[in-house]
Amino acid sequence: MYKFVIKRILITIPVLIGVAFIIFTILAMTPGDPGRLILGPLAEESAVAQLNHELGYDRPFIVRFANFIGDIVLKLDFGTSYRSGEQVIRELGARLPYTITLALLSMLLGSIIGISLGVFSAIEQYSVFDQISRFLAMIFASIPNFWFGMMLIYIFALVFGLLPSYGVESWQSYILPVVSLSIGPMASLLRLSRTTMLETIRQDYVRTARAKGATKISVVVKHALKNALLPVITIMGMNFGRLLGGALITETVFSMPGVGMYVVSAIRNKDIPAVMGSTFILAALFSLIMLGVDLLYAYIDPRVKAKYMK
Amino acid sequence: MMRTVGKKKQKKKYSLLKETWRRYKKSHTAMIGLVILAVFIFLSLIAGIIMPYENAIAQNRDARLQGPSSEHIFGTDAYGRDLFARILHGSRISLYIGLVTSFFTLLIGGILGASAGYYGGWIDNVIMRIVDLFMCIPFMLLALAIVAALGASMRNLLIAITIASIPGTVRYIRSTVLVITEQDFIEAARSYGANDFRIITRYILPNSMGPIIVSATMNISGMILSAAGLSFIGMGIQPPNPEWGSMLATAREYMRIAPYMLYFPGVAILLAALSFNLIGDGLRDALDPKLKD
């Protein structure tokens, strides 16, 4: 079992390097060079060239990439923002908590509501409840969440003045963003848990338990739920990636000072180090979540355990 | 309905298309999806005729920020442009984006995924390792980075969304093809000397079409939503082009005084994405052999 865990953890390292390479390559295609971007369009050619040389821009691609990775691994240095001159790592550090809070809360809300509705729908298949929740799931899967967020702002902030429409001053500021971000995972988890629950219910062992006289509820909770939710965990992990992507836009809509808004404005300003750093951090965060999900899944699923126990 | 090896005696005329359509028709939601899409397609086709493109981008100082009226069905925006015309022409843009990205994603992702699933071995390994790397980067982030690197335009938006969608498609097609390839009848075909090309075109492709079409249809809604999202933050279709997402970005600035600007583009995006989701769902139920009567 430990072999599996160690192997899985070690694989994360080349994965992160590979991800960094992809991002680095994409951003290397951005027109413009750092010297010009930092000093502005009116600066002297010689000054730009000198700054480029100092920053190592004229060195070959591989060398630049190696330096980039080296800086991150050895010094945790993501470079300096072109726009603000601050250390990217410091700016990210200040913003990461907001994004993580937003993502985690949305995941929590989406999962709890989505999975419970899905499970109940499966148990009461074809009922009115089932049809309504399937309909809702369809709608929520099709709503652009930035539009939903803006409608929430309009109703709750502008018309009724109940909740803040921007910023992160109080815990109430998180309500609207979290609700608007959670509908994506909610819809997908509702449909998924409904499907897996339906499949599980049809299994023979459930029928046996019912035949033995167990009530519907106890069958669900004791026998079916655990098996039905196993694939759901993996999908929850993958949904987290979509959530991080959605957070980019939600943070922009609600003006939250998180990594999402940072990366969007960094891209607009062609602030390459900031974009590199943010993208890398978000991808690394997602990889870690997937790592956790894989380990959790391996721990819970008795079939995986059996494979590795001798 | 597996097409197995060997010839079959023709008993009754059986058309998979007709049968699928018959089963598809049974679902109300699936039909609603089809109707909505038909309406969108119809509107896109006649958009140029009933509302010339100039109406969508012509600015009119005197008619700024007017609510819905008989003259401007959906009202006007901050530049006096008729919102109804903009929504109409926006539907052409969104449908175009959805179809083009879906086509290229299927083409490239299909070739890669099918190769990985069918040939296995080192081809599979290399392709899947690269796919795993790409899938560590959240979709929006990847598309955003690509648009940022190439510059915000329709062409680059299409490229970005296609590239960001390919990894997921490769994975899905690979698993579909893998399941079919491992079936006995493929081994049987190989054992009597059928070459790869024949096997792929006669057996693998027809049997994998179903799930692939379903997932491709549902992906279109995701692509439309992503395109709207990217345009919303300014990294997609640029104004004055009437893309629904960028219309919402402008609507945001005038939320207090002209809230009606918020409704129509959002509902349009919702309906477009919903139609593809419903159709994909209906197709899946219609093609699922387990649900046969």
The predicted-structure confidence for B32-81, as pLDDT tens digits, reads as follows 889 999 999 988 888 777 777 666 666 666 667 777 776 677 777 777 78
Minimal Cβ distance to B232: which of A143, A249, A282: A249
Highest CATH level, class, for A88-308: mainly alpha
Which pLDDT belongs to residue B3? 65
Indicate if the alpha-carbon torsion angle B285, B287, B288, B293 is positive or negative.
Answer: positive
User: Beta-carbon neighbour count of residue A222 at 10 Å?
Assistant: 11
Runs of H (alpha helix) within A143-219:
145-152, 175-201, 204-211, 216-218
- Please check the confidence at residue B156 and state whether its pLDDT lies above 70: yes
**For testing contact with chain A, the best of B97, B141, B157, B263 (most A CBs within 10 A):** B141
Q: Do the chains contact at B135 and A241, CB–CB below 8 Å?
A: yes
Does the beta-carbon distance from A244 to B145 stay under 8 Å? no
Q: What pLDDT score does B57 carry?
A: 67
Cα dist from A105 to A111, A248, B107, whole Å: 10, 15, 38
Which segment of A79-93, A158-172, B5-19, B260-274 scores lowest on mean pLDDT? B5-19
Pick the residue from chain A with its C-alpha nearest to B270: A143
Token pair recorded at residue B272 = 């477009």
CA distance B110 to B232: 30
Is the pLDDT score of A78 beyond 70?
yes
**Segments of chain A assigned to CATH 1.10.3720.10:** 88-308
Of B293 and A285, the structure prediction assigns the larger pLDDT to A285
DSSP category for residue A192:
H
Q: Are A95 and A259 a contacting pair, CB within 8 Å?
A: yes
- Would you call A150 and B235 a contact, using CB atoms and an 8 Å cutoff? no
d(CA B55, CA B176) in angstroms, rounded, equals 47
Q: Which of B157, B233, B281 to mutate to test the interface with A (most CBs of A within 10 A)?
A: B233
ipTM over 0.90: no
pLDDT of A282 > 60? The answer is yes
Given A23, A158, A287, which is nearest B145 (Cβ)? A23
Query: Within a 10 A sphere around the Cβ of B154, how many other Cβ atoms?
Result: 18
Provide the pLDDT confidence category of residue B166 given band limits of 50, 70 and 90: very high
**Average pLDDT of the residues in A194-221:** 74
- How many Å lie between the alpha carbon of B152 and the closest alpha carbon of chain A? 10
Question: Which tokens in the block code for residue B208?
Answer: 């994998």
CB B198 within 8 A of CB B137: no
Mean model confidence pLDDT for chain A = 82
* Cβ contact A22–B132 (<8 Å): no
Residue A279 confidence (pLDDT) above 90: no
Q: Does the beta-carbon distance from B149 to A27 stay under 8 Å?
A: yes
Cα dihedral B30/B34/B36/B38 (nearest 10): 180
pLDDT at A310 over 80: no
Do the chains contact at A144 and B229, CB–CB below 8 Å?
yes
Higher pLDDT, B199 or A106: A106
> What pTM did the predictor assign?
0.87
Instruction: Choose from A50-59, A116-125, B13-22 the range with maximum mean pLDDT.
Output: A116-125
Q: How confident is the model at residue B152 (pLDDT cuts 50, 70, 90)?
A: confident
SS3 of residue A87 by DSSP: strand
Average pLDDT over residues B147-176: 92
Is the CB of A279 less than 8 angstroms away from the CB of B274? no
For position B293, what pLDDT does the model report? 47
Q: What is the nearest CA distance from A165 to chain B, expressed in angstroms?
A: 12
Q: What is the structure's pLDDT at B108?
A: 94
Backbone angles phi, psi at A80, to 5 degrees: -115, 135
| Spatial separation of the C-alpha atoms in residues B132 and B167, rounded to whole Å | 8
Q: Whole-angstrom Cα distance, residue A307 to residue B223?
A: 40
Among A15-29, A269-283, A295-309, the least confident range: A295-309
Query: What type of residue sits at position A175?
Result: I
Compute the C-alpha angle A64/A65/A67, nearest 5°.
65
Place of tokens 């300014």: B234
Mean pLDDT of the B162-179 span: 92
Residues A28 and A61: beta-carbon distance below 8 Å: yes
- The closest alpha carbon to B134, from A206, A21, A49, belongs to A21
Alpha carbons B144 and A245: distance in angstroms, whole number: 10
pLDDT 10s digits, B267-293: 999 999 999 999 998 888 888 766 554
- Which residues on A lie below 8 Å from B235 (Cβ)? 264, 267-268
Region A142-146 average pLDDT: 92
Q: According to the model, what pLDDT value does residue B164 have?
A: 95
Q: What is the pLDDT of residues A154-185, one digit of tens each?
A: 888 777 777 777 777 778 888 889 999 999 99
> Could you tell me which residues come within 8 angstroms of residue B26 by beta carbon, excluding any fewer than 6 positions away?
B286
> Which of B249, B252, B198 lies closest to B228 in space, CA to CA?
B249
pLDDT of residue B142: 93
Element (H, E) at A297: helix A272-300
Mean per-residue pLDDT, A208-233: 73
List of chain A residues whose C-beta atoms are within 8 Å of the C-beta of residue B228: 144
CB atoms near residue B292 (< 10 Å): 8
Q: Which of A56-60, A105-109, A202-206, B63-67 has the highest mean pLDDT?
A: A105-109
Judged by CB atoms closer than 8 Å, whether chains meet at A241 and B232 is answered as no
The residue in chain A having the minimum alpha-carbon distance to the alpha carbon of residue B137 is A283
- A139–B274 CB contact, under 8 Å: yes
Residue B171 confidence (pLDDT) above 50: yes
Pairwise CA distance, residues A53 & B293, whole Å: 72
With cut-offs at 50, 70 and 90, classify the pLDDT of residue B12. low
Name which residue leads in pLDDT, B53 or B96.
B96
User: Please, which residues bridge with residue A80 across strands?
Assistant: A87
Count Cβ–Cβ pairs < 8 Å, chain A vs chain B.
137
